[in-house]
Chains A and B, each alone.
Chain A
Amino acid sequence: MAVIASRRPTERRVLLTFARRNALWGYLFVLPACAILLGLVAYPFFYAIFISFTSRVVGDPGEWVGLANFRYLFGWSSFTKAVRNTIVLVVVSDILKLVIGLGLALILNERIRGRGLFRSFMLLPWAMPAFVAFLTWRLLFMPIGGGINLLLSESGLYTDIIDWLGQRSTAMPAVIIATVWRGFPFWCISFLAALQTVPSELYEAAKIDGANAWQRFLAVTLPSIRQVILIVVLLSSIWTANSFENIWIMTQGGPSDATMVFPVLAYFGMQSQRLGEAAAVSVAMIPVLALLVIVVTTLMREDEA
């Protein structure tokens, strides 16, 4: 910089070319990533929307059919069930994860003996591969060889054998339990990290003002970690609404669509070779998804700045 500054007359030009060359290198470095993402994310994204307006099947590109696929979907019971199930799955598991995750984070933020050990154990469900977690839960809920039935009968709570994943009333609760088991550690750890950045002076001030524990939680803790809670809820909703493994491995959407969700329905559509309709299933959730994504990216970029 000193060298540039000493050459007064050419300073402007040198700086200009420096900025321009700098920008050029910047573009060059980001180019490979951009090219790959354009080809593998952006192009397929718009291609999916295009396919959803065609009668495409495997081996035949089909023709433009306008909204016919979507009209078909809304009259199709599997699709309406998938809409309802996805909402139930996301809302119920979000609430459970929020309560468990935040509760545990508040506990672990205190000086508790064995805190570090508990924290390591708590990470296990999140650290293990999703397919392993859901395979294990499928086994746990089996009528024969499953641990849940055995646990209930050995403890004398309930002795009848329940086919948890095989009957409509219990399949969705079972999937939700597995989803929460796998998901809550991420929530808890994120909240814990946020709690540790709350300055303790705020608590002291509140205490001097005579606030009790619950009032301190409402007045200090909650506002301080509001942003993180919002980001985690939104991110997790996006992931849960689009998770394939939990349903596919545990129930494949059954029994009789009781646990059918968008990704599994789209996958079945693709297996039956009707690509236009299958694409329409995924595309139908873009409006809600886009809203969530725009809100969460705005929050994350604020958070980062």
Chain B
Amino acid sequence: MIAGRVQPAPRVSRPRLFARGQRLLIYAILLIVLAAILFPIYWMATISLKLPREIYRQPSLWPKIVTLDNYRVLIEEKGFLTNIRNSLIVASSVTVLCLLIASFAAYSLVRFRYRFKGVIGRLILFAYLTPTSLLFIPLSIIVARLNLGNSLHGLIIVYLTFALPLSTWLLSGYFRSVPAELEEQAMVDGTTRIGALFRILLPLSAPGLVAVGIFTFTGAWNELLLALIFITSEDKRTVPLALQYLITGDVLLWGPIMAGAVLSAVPVVVLYLLAQRFMVQGMTHGSVKG
């Protein structure tokens, strides 16, 4: 069942839970929550625009001088563009690989009948819920054995451990909501099963593919633990890794760190807000990592 496809119940008849007098209290609560949500984001943005002396020596809630110097330091001195490039390579490769493999798997789980299907479906769910913190030690041994340590290729492969089960599970949900008749019709007309997948099911599930693609991309873009273990050389660091090394450095460079935080958050947040509508649908499956 997908919430977005259900006709909403007529709004008119929904009873009011709150009396008029309580509304004021409600708005006060919402305002406080809003302030609590926005203050950290505001702080991140202003620190990224402040000069060091305004961050440490004369702190104030509002920046007096606005500067882009932190961004310059981050990009010119810390080589942040290399980190962005690495993250882009890893995240987009994981996304493409994942969408392809997961589409086949979800197609199989939703449209075909065979023994062990239930078992496989359940195992995929198990795989999704198996935490990375349980797998990273054996994975480090396996990756070293395959000579994939300290390489973006190795990172792309190990990221499939969390990306593939999630995308398969979510895509199965979308595929289930697409009626099978169109594919059956096409197959009666002589289309192969692969043709039915690529020419009918996938185009019809385009919104789902976009949403799952965004989840996969951001999941890989945000990952820290595995990157910390597998990447040892500076030129291969991804964005989260580069920023975490800035906090463990001798001098805390909060200006450039927050500049990096802003630069790495903005694309992801924009993608999320764009995909919001589809995300809520995906969430009725109760399976979106948050």
Contacts and interface: CB of A to CB of B under 8 A. Distances in A.
Interface of A: 1, 19, 22-23, 25-30, 32-34, 36-37, 40-45, 47-48, 51, 100, 103-104, 106-107, 109-112, 114, 118, 120-133, 135-140, 142, 144-145, 147, 150-151, 154, 181, 183, 185-187, 189-190, 193-194, 196-197, 199-200, 203-204, 207, 213, 216, 228, 231-232, 235-236, 238-239, 241-242, 244-245, 248-249, 262-263, 266-267, 270, 275, 278-279, 282-283, 285-286, 289, 293, 296-297, 299-301, 303-304
B244 A199 contact: no
A279 B134 CA distance: 8
B9 A200 contact: yes
A282 B134 contact: yes
Nearest to B111: A26
B125 A111 contact: no
Contacts of A37: 123-124, 127, 161, 164-165
Contact of B37 (A125, A154, A228, A304): A125
B286 A300 contact: yes
A100 B247 CA distance: 31
B133 A300 contact: no
B74 interface: no
Interface in B259-290: 261, 264-265, 268-269, 272-273, 276, 280, 283-290
A32 to B, nearest CB: 5
B69 to A, nearest CB: 16
A47 B111 CA distance: 34
B244 A131 contact: yes
A30 B127 CA distance: 15
Query: Which 4 pairs between the two chains have the least Cβ-Cβ distance?
Result: A186-B290, A26-B112, A242-B131, A263-B133
Given A36-B160, A140-B43, A189-B283, A282 B133 contact: yes
Given A19-B113, A23-B114, A123-B273, A40 B280 contact: no
B225 interface: yes
Contacts of A140: 40, 43
A65 to B, nearest CB: 16
Which interface residue of A121, A132, A142, A263 has the most chain B CB atoms within 10 A? A132
A131 B237 CA distance: 15
B101 A297 contact: no
Contacts of B8: 196
Given A112-B26, A145-B55, A150-B59, A121 B114 contact: no
Given A19-B113, A147-B39, A150-B59, A41 B165 contact: yes
Interface of B: 3, 6, 8-11, 13-18, 26-27, 29-30, 33-34, 36-41, 43-44, 47, 55-56, 59-61, 101-102, 104-105, 107-109, 111-115, 117, 120-127, 129-142, 157-158, 160-161, 164-165, 168, 173, 188, 193, 218, 221-222, 224-225, 228-229, 240, 243-244, 247, 254, 257-258, 261, 264-265, 268-269, 272-273, 276, 280, 283-290
Contacts of B158: 40
Given A51-B137, A193-B3, 19 more contacts: A29-B193, A30-B109, A33-B101, A41-B165, A44-B161, A48-B135, A103-B29, A123-B276, A127-B272, A135-B258, A144-B56, A147-B43, A151-B61, A186-B290, A239-B131, A248-B225, A266-B137, A267-B225, A301-B122
B269 A127 contact: yes
Contacts of B105: 29-30, 32-34
Given A200-B10, A297-B126, A245 B225 contact: yes
Given A48-B138, A196-B3, A279-B137, A293 B129 contact: yes
A29 B254 contact: no
A181 B36 CA distance: 8
A190 B286 contact: yes
6 contacts: A129-B240, A132-B44, A140-B43, A150-B61, A286-B134, A303-B285
Contact of A127 (B132, B244, B264, B268): B268
A229 to B, nearest CB: 10
A171 to B, nearest CB: 16
Contacts of A128: 41, 265, 268-269
Looking at B40, B111, B135, B136, the one whose CB has the most chain A CB atoms below 10 A away is B40
B268 A203 contact: no
Contacts of B6: 197
A249 B265 CA distance: 16
Nearest to B134: A282
Given A36-B101, A107-B26, A154-B61, A139 B257 contact: yes
A231 B284 CA distance: 11
Contacts of B18: 110, 213
A294 B41 CA distance: 37
B126 A106 contact: no
Contacts of A36: 101, 160, 164
B168 A33 contact: yes
Contacts of A231: 286
B133 A145 contact: no
Nearest to B240: A131
Contacts of A1: 188
A300 B43 contact: no
A36 B160 CA distance: 8
